[in-house]
Structures are given as C-alpha cells and as structure tokens.
Chains A and B, each alone.
Chain A
Amino acid sequence: MTTEIDAIFVGDSHGMIMQSAAAAHGIKFKYPVTAASATFGGATMRKSENGGVVFEIAASRLDPDRVKPEKISHRLQKANSIRQKLSVAFKTGLPIYSNIGMTARNFVLGIVTAAKANGEDPSLLSKKMMRLAAEEYFQQFVSQYDTMKASSPRVTAVFGPTRFEHSSRALWMSYDDTAARMLRERNIDILDLRGDFGNEDLLLREEFYGQPDDGVHGNDHWGLMTVRKIAEHCQRASSDSPQKNMAY
C-alpha cells in the first residue's frame, strides 16, 4: 500500500536518498522535485507571469568556456524538467518541504579547502565572519525559498545530514544557525531533526552512515526516518493550521 504525503518536496541529493528510501517503503510525496545540489546553487526560481515557475540554472554552470556542450544541454533539460514540475506543484498551494541549501557540507568544504590551499587555519575564523560568510553563501538559496513561500502558506526547511569533521563543527553549526535564522525571518519553519539522528554534538550517528559510506550522505534508513518525520510534521501541521483547507 502506498502512503502519499500531501506535500511538495524540493530536494537535493540528500532529498533523493530520502525519496527513494521512502518509496521503497511505499511512502511518497505528492509532488517530488529533486536534483543534485549544484542544480539549485545560485539558480533562479521565481513565479512567471502566467502563474507558472521560471527555473534557471546558475549561469556559471552553463558557461561554454568551461562546460562541454552535451553537459550544458543535459543541464538545460534538467532545468526545464524542474521548471515544469515546480509549475504544476506550486499551483496546488500544498505545503512545501525542502532541504536545498540546508546541508553545510559545500560551504564548510569550500572554506576548509580554500584556507588550507592558502596555508591558513580555518578554525581561526571569528564567529562573526563565519556567520557573515554563511549568510552570503546562503543568499543563493534565499530567493528560491521566497518563491516557495509565495507559492504556499506553509514552507518547511529540513536540515540534511550533519557530517562535519570535528575541527569544522563550529563552521557547520554557524552555517546551520544562519540558514535557519534567515529562513525563520521569512516565516519559513525549520524541521530540525539533527538531534533525532545525531549524537550529543549533533553529528550524524554511525548507524545512519551508508555502506559503503561516501562521507557525505546518510543511508536509506536515515532517508526513510526523515521522510516519516516529515509526514508526521505535515499531518500535525495540517491539523494545527487554521489555513489547512487553503491548499486542498
């Protein structure tokens, strides 16, 4: 028997794991829209004049000087597919769950790699600077969340798996806190499951590591449990919300 979550899900590669793991157990979102995180990074997502959605991949990912033509073509097709799916999904006004930009890994990796390449120690960055860097980095996702918010009264962001190296925990947490704050300022809810799957430091517990483990993602068990938590949240929020009938 299939259980359908009455919601739209906009997700990256972590979202794909969630989606496939849940599907294997007969749980699916009504409107899933997933792609690799790079597809959403710096992308333009806005409402079009005809009520649909414009979705454009960041120009740097379509630069013919750096990207092969066949790859550009593939990316454009993917963008078009996302545009179509979002256009259909956003017209329903259903609650939206999204994890795009909600995993600090690329941000932390960028800081650590760049600092080390320059012989610097990333752990010496001040808290203020970390926050500002996180804020500026997360900007690439903000307008996409704004579009989601303009399309649905209930938008909820979900953190991805927390998989920091011990030395970069402060960076990771700074990013998570900043992203959450920026979204809350937009009346976007945060479904924080880091404690549910993490240890006392919020680091993802080993039982949720993949086999083999890529050091980045959670396993199917993590994916399934996350989707179940989303389903519970969605049901609870729908019954709590005075706007519950608006979307259906």
Chain B
Amino acid sequence: MNATNPYRKLPRRAFWSTSVAKSAKMKGMVDDLWRPSFQLTKDHPVATVGSCFAQHISSALVQAGFKWVQAERPTFGLSEQAARDFGYSIFSVRTGNIYTTKMLRQWLSWVRDPETQDTEFWESQDAVFDPVRPQIEPGGFEDAEDMAAARKSTIAAFHRAIEEASVFIFTLGLTEYWENIETGLVYASCPGTVAGEFDPVLHRFRNSKYPEILEDLEEIRKSLRAINPDIKLLLTVSPVPLVATAEEGKHVLTATTHSKSTLRSAAGDFSSNYQDVDYFPSFEIVTHPGLDRQMFEDDRRSVRPDGVDFVMEHFLAGLGLVHRSPTSRRSDGVDAIATSVEATLKADEIVCEEIELERFNDNRD
C-alpha cells in the first residue's frame, strides 16, 4: 500500500475535524472558510440587492467602512425613518426585496432597455401599487403616473449602480414566485397578499428549477457586464427559511430545503464557471448544525443579531480585513458591525415583503 495519497496533502480546512468540529468546540470562527476569487477592498464600490437577508449585508458593509453604492438616495428634506419607509438606504437602489433570480433578471432587462418594462399596476380604492415592489411607497402611489415615474427613477439609478460598482452582491432568497400568465411579468409577491387581487386565471405559481436558475444567472451576469464589463458578481444564499410554500402538497420544511438547496447548488456551480463570479457561504454559516450555534430567534426563522454578526465576521476575515483565530476576541470593526446589526434588528427595520404571507396563516395555534 502506498504511504501517500491526495488526502495527506490537504490543508486543515479540507477536513471536518480540524475546521468545523474545531470551531464548534472552540465556539469561534471557521478558519479559512471563504477565499474570495477576486479582490474586494474597502475602496471597491459595492452594490447590494436581494432578499431580506441582503439588508444585513448592506448595513454591515457600511459599518465596516466599505464604499457602498447608494445610487438612489433619499430626497432632500426626508427624515431617515421616512426614507427607510420609502425603501431608501436598504439596497443600492429602491427595488425592495429581490427574492428570485427571475426577478433580478427582469429588473436588469428593464435597466438595459427601459422601453421593455411591463406597465401593469395594482389599483385599490385610493392607491396604486407597483407589482414588482408593492411596499416601496407606504400606502401605495396616488396614481399610475407617479408609480411609472418612480419606476423610471429606480431603473435609471439601477443603471448607475451597476456602472459605479466594482462588485455586485446578490443574495438569492427564493425559488418560488408568481407571474402573470399573459404577460410573463414576475411579481415580487403573490397578488392579493401585500397588494393587488389574486386572479387564478391570470396569476400562476412557479417554482424555478436548477437549470432555470443557472440560465437566469447567466442572463444576470450578461446584463451586468453589458453595462459594466469589469463588474464582479458575488452570490450569497439567504439562510432565512420560507414563510410559506405555495407548492401544492408540500411541507414548508421540505420546500425550504428544496429551494435553498437548489439556490445553493446553482450559485456554487455558476460561480465555479467564472472567475468574476464568487459565492460567499452565508447560508452554510447560519444553517449548518455542525457549527453548533444558536443562529435563529424563537420563531426559528429570523437570524439572531449575533448570527448575522458571525456571518459578517467571516466575510471580513475572507477579505483579510479581520484576522481571527477561533478563540480570538473581536476587533473594533467587528464590534461596530455587531452593534449595527443588533440595532437594526431591535428597531425591527428589516423590510420584508415575504413575511406578509404569515398574515394569511389561518391555522395558528
């Protein structure tokens, strides 16, 4: 028998016992978890969009001193709270949550050619809602003209964000989505939940499969690079479980696992195809039981502040901005992130359309 084999030369990070098990035992970070495939320093402008969890990334980047692209800024005169209510300062542009690859692909197609955008709007008694960001204007827009103008502004800002950014971070959240059968418009939420009226003839449930997500990611990358050929794409998958599944006959637990596994797998495979695309493992850091950490609040869905903090510590460590051994104490920068994350969560400032689905759970105990 040969005395050497490929496993003998593998580093500590390649073995569970010397990486995951050790960090779990030490209650510390997982050393060398993420090695970025492209350079990202605090001087590189970073744009962020995505699901609810992406909001943590935005605020943590700001706190850590990164150059966060804010292409759509609150208007002069608006207070900080009002600005947040109107969806400013949450993502780089005022898109609201972009949960799916399908949704980002749709946005980017409009960014590249605004003339192609769908003009559907949802009208209630005294307000008009944007189907791709129904919560962006508290209480809705006063008329369709206002909605169209605001969309135009966001699309222009989105273009600027891509032009300006060195790195575009997209946090994938869901595979499930709803669309208009006739027009193909992808909605941010099921009509009739946050706003709009559900029409079973017009509205269809879809659950993206792996090949579709890969195809969407290809299109997303193509669109981003068409606007900014040097831009890098950093993918993450939100560890936050589904509020509810619309997949017939499915349990929300298996639906969550299915959805997240598909997203995780697609993001991993896609990033391995391109040097300008990378994957950061926020999903694993939060959800893997091997790390033996209490990461969720009592609702078993919201990520605890220290969990978000733990994710961002790994992010900074991967970039070489925080060097920590499993037992080391926090640096000032990491403390600043922790404080920011905690404050954000305490203030209940996470803006999340999906959570609205919980209102429709008629069988609560």
A residues with a Cβ closer than 8 A to B are 107, 110-111, 113-115, 118-130, 132-134, 136-137
CA–CA, A230 and B257, complex, Å: 72
Render B50-90 as a binary contact track against A, CB cut-off 8 A, 1 for contact: 00000000000000000000011101111100100010000
Complex CA gap A126/B86 in Å reads 11
B201 interface contact, C-beta 8 A: no
Does B141 belong to the interface (CB within 8 Å)? yes
Beta-carbon contact of B156 and A121 below 8 Å = yes
**In the assembled complex, B215 has its CB within 8 A of some CB on chain A:** no
16 A-B pairs in the complex with CB atoms less than 8 angstroms apart: A110-B77, A111-B75, A114-B76, A115-B76, A120-B73, A121-B156, A124-B149, A125-B150, A126-B137, A126-B141, A126-B142, A127-B146, A128-B142, A130-B75, A136-B78, A137-B76
Residue in chain B with minimal CB distance to A137: B77
Whether A133 and B76, one on each chain, are in contact in the complex, defined by CB atoms closer than 8 angstroms, is yes
- Measured CB to CB, the closest approach of chain B to A142, in angstroms, equals 14
Residues on the A chain within 8 Å of B260, using CB: none
Decide yes or no: A133 and B78 within 8 Å by CB, A126-B146, A128-B137 being known contacts.
Answer: yes
CA distance A107 to B82 in the complex (A): 17
Confirm or deny: B153 has a beta carbon within 8 angstroms of a beta carbon on chain A. Answer: yes
With contacts A126-B146, A128-B139, A129-B137 known, is A136 near B153, CB below 8 A? no
Chain B residue with minimal CB distance to A112? B76
Cβ distance B134 to chain A, nearest Cβ, rounded Å: 14
> Residue on B with the closest CB to A110?
B76
Cα-based distance from A114 to B77 in the complex (angstroms)? 10
User: Per a CB cutoff under 8 Å, which of B75, B79, B82 touches A125?
Assistant: B75
In contact, A120 and B76 (Cβ under 8 angstroms): no
Complex-state Cα separation, A128 to B137, whole angstroms: 8
Question: In whole angstroms, what is the CA distance A129 to B146 when docked?
Answer: 10
Q: Is the interface of A mostly helix, strand, loop or mixed?
A: helix
Q: How many residues of B contact A (CB 8 A)?
A: 25
Q: From the candidates B77, B86, B147, name the one contacting A107 in the complex (CB within 8 A).
A: B77
8 Å CB contact of B76 from A111, A126, A128, A132: A111
Contact of B82 among A118, A123, A127, A136 (CB under 8 A): A136
- Report how far A137 CA is from B75 CA in the complex, Å: 11
Q: Please, which residues of chain A bring their CB within 8 A of the CB of B76?
A: 107, 110-111, 113-115, 133, 137
Point out the residue from A120, A132, A133 that lies within 8 Å of B153, measured CB to CB. Answer: A120
A181 to chain B, nearest CB (A): 16
- For residue B157, CB closer than 8 A to chain A, the reply is yes
Residues of A within 8 A of B232 (CB): none
Q: Which residues of chain A come closer than 8 Å to B157, judged between CB atoms?
A: 119-120
Q: How far apart sit A114 and B82, CA to CA, in the bound complex (Å)?
A: 17
Query: Which residues from chain A contact B156 at a C-beta distance below 8 Å?
Result: 119-121
A136 to B78 alpha-carbon distance, docked (Å): 6
State whether A136 touches B79 (Cβ < 8 A): yes
B150: nearest residue on chain A (CB-CB)? A126
A124-B150, A124-B153 given as contacts; is B73 within 8 A of A114 (CB)?
yes
Kindly list chain B residues whose C-beta atoms are within 8 Å of the C-beta of A134.
77
Chain B positions within 8 Å of A128 at CB level: 137-139, 141-142, 146
Q: Give A133 to B83 CA distance when docked, in angstroms.
A: 9
Report if B152 contacts A (CB, 8 A).
yes
B84-102 contacts to A (CB < 8 Å): 86
Among residues 178 to 216 in chain B, which have CB atoms less than 8 Å away from a CB atom of chain A?
none
Smallest distance from the beta carbon of B93 to chain A beta carbons, Å?
11
Q: How far is the CB of B83 from chain A (nearest CB, A)?
A: 9
* Nearest Cβ on chain A to B237's Cβ, whole angstroms: 31
Complex interface: chain B residues within 8 A of A127 (CB) = 142-143, 146
